Amino acid sequence: MTYPTGLSAQAIAGYGNNHPWDPSDMLRCVRYCEGRLTTSDIRGRMAGRSKEWDRLLPEWDNLTELLREEMETRTDNNAPRTYREMKRVLADGIFCGTCDGTGRGATCMKCKGTGHRSGGRCRAKHCFSGADYCASCAGRGYTTTERR
């Protein structure tokens, strides 16, 4: 018997309960499921396996669409938007409205938002690529709440 590569894809196949941690794991799951399983099949198989799967399943179609979009438009095989969204979903987070999900706070006054000064990177205190981290979400782009 041939097993799918990746622990999360193996979980969908029925061997374990590992969930996708990043876009490459998600891509392996999507490739395994193509032509075999629908979203409702995946939901039926994985519901209740773990709290992470229970958080991912309602967003599965959105995450898959975002991943496909990034794979088609980017040439470096990275999916940073998908990664950010997966981290938010797995943390049970809520989109940060203060920074519009960018994680960026106030613009650095030393480098005027460029992130560079004097031929190198800006080294001003609290300057991260031209801005401070958002005070509401600490640079994550989402906030977490305790849900009961």
Could you give the angle at the alpha carbon of 127 between the alpha carbons of 111 and 92, nearest 5°? 135
Share of the chain above pLDDT 70, in %: 95
On whether both 58 and 104 belong to a single domain, the answer is: no
CA pair distance 23, 102, nearest whole angstrom:
19
On whether both 62 and 73 belong to a single domain, the answer is: yes
The predicted-structure confidence for 106-137, as pLDDT tens digits, reads as follows 999 999 989 898 888 998 888 888 999 998 99
Q: Average pLDDT, stretch 23-38?
A: 91
CA pair distance 15, 35, nearest whole angstrom:
19
Domains identified in the chain, total number? 2
What range does the domain containing 79 cover? Answer: 1-90
Q: Which pLDDT score, from 0 to 100, does residue 102 have?
A: 85
Model confidence, pTM? 0.77
DSSP state for residue 141 in the 8-state scheme: S
CA 29 to chain centre: 15
On whether both 109 and 62 belong to a single domain, the answer is: no
The two beta strands, 104-107 and 93-95, are unpaired
On whether both 14 and 74 belong to a single domain, the answer is: yes
On whether both 72 and 12 belong to a single domain, the answer is: yes
On whether both 11 and 83 belong to a single domain, the answer is: yes
Run of H or E including 11: helix 7-13
State whether residue 128 is helix, strand or coil.
Answer: strand
On whether both 114 and 72 belong to a single domain, the answer is: no
